[in-house]
Structure 1
C-alpha cells in the first residue's frame, strides 16, 4: 500500500541551491514516521538520496506502509516537486530492548558552550545558518586554511526546539563541509546521500538545548568527498552518527550562493546542499 504526506519547504532553511539537506532529511523522517510508519517505534536509521535541489514549492512524499518484522519496521519513501522525484530514501524503526552497552565514540574533550564564542556564517553563504546558533569548540574555523578537515561546534536551534530525531538529522548536516576547515575560499560541496544512525539516547525523549556536532573528511578525490559526523547532547551522550557522500564542485559551477528559485524545483541533474 502506498501512502502520502506533504511538507511545506521553509524558505528560511535555504542553502546554496535549494533547501538545506539536513532539513530535508528531517522532513522526510517526519513524513516517514508520522505518515507511513504511524509513529509507533523509535527510528534507528535514515538514508536520504538527493536527486535534485529541493525548491520553494511543497514537497510531496509517497511511501510504502512499513514492512514489519518481529522487532523492526522499514519503509521506503520518495519526495516529489512538480511531479518529479527530488529525494529518495528509507527509514528503519525498532523499539529498544535489553542488551550490552558500549560507548566507543566519546564526545570530544572541549569547553562547554558558555566558554565558546559565537560564529556567524555569512548569510550569502548559508542562509539556513541564521536559524542556528553556532559556537566553535576548537581552534578550527571555516575558510581559515587550517591543517585538517574537521570542525567541532556547539549548535542549538534559535527557535528552542528539542533535539528529537528529525532535529538531530538536521544537526548531522548543520556544520559547513569539513573541507572548509582547510580552504580559504568557499565552493559548493552539496550532499548526494546522507545516512544517519540514531542511538538509544533518544528513546527516553528529546534532550533540550545545545548539541555538540563534529564533522570531518577522511578522504576526498575525483570530485567527491566522504564526511563523517556525530551529534552529542549537552551532557555528552551520543545521539547519532552520520555519513554523507558529497560532490566537490569547482567554484564557478555553484551559481550564486543563497539564491532561491521563485517557485517549484531548482534545476534538475544536480544534488542538494
Structure 2
C-alpha cells in the first residue's frame, strides 16, 4: 500500500528535485538537490524537516545543494559507495542490492552505470516509485559521459524488469525533445504518436510530463526497445545485437 507523499520541486532550467515524506515517522528525504533555496522554501511551506538526502550521482546539478541543506537540517546524505569521493558530504554509501531503510518503508538500490560510473537508483517498491536520476528519462536516457553502451543497456535492462505500474521520477524535463527524437526511430508506433501529442499538450499548459509510468516507457521509449524488430528495421539493423542497436540509437540522439 502506498504511504509516501512525493513532492516535485522544479529547479534551475529543467531539473526536478523530489521530496519524499513518510507521514508515519515524519522522515523526509530530498532526491538530488541541485540547489538548496527552492528546497528549503518548499519544506517550509509543507512544514517538513529534512532527514535525508539521496544522491543518484555526482553531477553538480544533482548535489549542488548537499552541503547547505546538511548544515541547515543536520540530515544524512546517502550515495553510491563506489563514488564517495565525488558526493559532497556523503555519510552512508550504498551498493547494488542494498536495502535502504527510510522511515516505515524501504528502497532497493540499483547500481546503474552509464551516464556516470557511479550512478545509482532508488526503488520504493511499496509506493511504485523509482528515482533514477539521469539513467532513464521519459522517452530517453542519459548521455554516456563515463560509461559504455553495454553498461548503459545493462543498467536500463535492470530497470526495465520493474513492474509496469512503477512511476519513473527522472531528474529532467526533457520529454518533449525526447519525443521528437523517438518518432524518428519508431515512426509507426501508435502509442508513441499518441503520447507525443499528449506531451505537447502538457507542455503548452506549462505542466510537467514526469513522473512517467514504466509500462508506457517500455512501449514507447526507443532506448528500452533496441531488441524490437520495428526499431531495428528503421535503423537497418534487423537481427543485430541489442547493445549494437542501442549504441546506434544513442549516437543518433547525441547528434539529433
Larger strand proportion of the pair = 1
Instruction: Give the TM-score normalised by structure 2.
Output: 0.26
Higher relative contact order (CA 8 A, sep 6+): 1
Instruction: Give the TM-score normalised by structure 1.
Output: 0.24
